Amino acid sequence: DAGITQSPRHKVTETGTPVTLRCHQTENHRYMYWYRQDPGHGLRLIHYSYGVKDTDKGEVSDGYSVSRSKTEDFLLTLESATSSQTSVYFCAISESSRDSLGYTFGSGTRLTVV
């Protein structure tokens, strides 16, 4: 979607390797989120950020870490990838904590851990 890009779009990696996914926004929004989407589970929150260097855990944060050193970039790292982390990962941004505008989502990263 315009204003938010995720990279890479697809990745295949081996079990035990570290992986970093990148979310980049040009909207200057304060809030950024990482979700994973799996069949039967909808979207589940991994981590979120409410400002530069300000992050917190979501409901499925085990095995993931994040960093936000600049407003525009939010990185998600799988410290040691496992097959259970095979999923589609979505980044989202919102303008404020008042979710009146909803989220804008990136196009997703399909990650396969073999």
Site residues (CB under 8 A) for other proteins?
A: 1, 31, 33, 35, 40-45, 48, 50, 56, 58, 90, 94, 96-100, 102-108
- Closer residue to other proteins, CB minimum distance, 2 or 114: 2
- Closer residue to other proteins, CB minimum distance, 41 or 70: 41
- Closer residue to other proteins, CB minimum distance, 50 or 75: 50
Q: How far is the CB of 1 from other proteins (least distance, A)?
A: 6
Find the length of the chain.
114
Q: How far is the CB of 40 from other proteins (least distance, A)?
A: 6
Q: In 14-41, at which residue ranges do the beta strands (DSSP E only) sit?
A: 19-25, 31-38
Rounded to 10 degrees, the C-alpha dihedral 89/94/98/102 comes to -70
Q: How far is the CB of 12 from other proteins (least distance, A)?
A: 19
83 to each of 32, 49, 94, 111, how far by Cα in Å? Answer: 25, 26, 30, 10
Q: How far is the CB of 16 from other proteins (least distance, A)?
A: 29
Classify residue 58 by burial, with Cβ atoms within 10 Å: 0-12, 13-18, 19+: middle
Look at residues 24, 34, 40 and name the one whose alpha carbon lies nearest to residue 56: 34
- Closer residue to other proteins, CB minimum distance, 18 or 51: 51
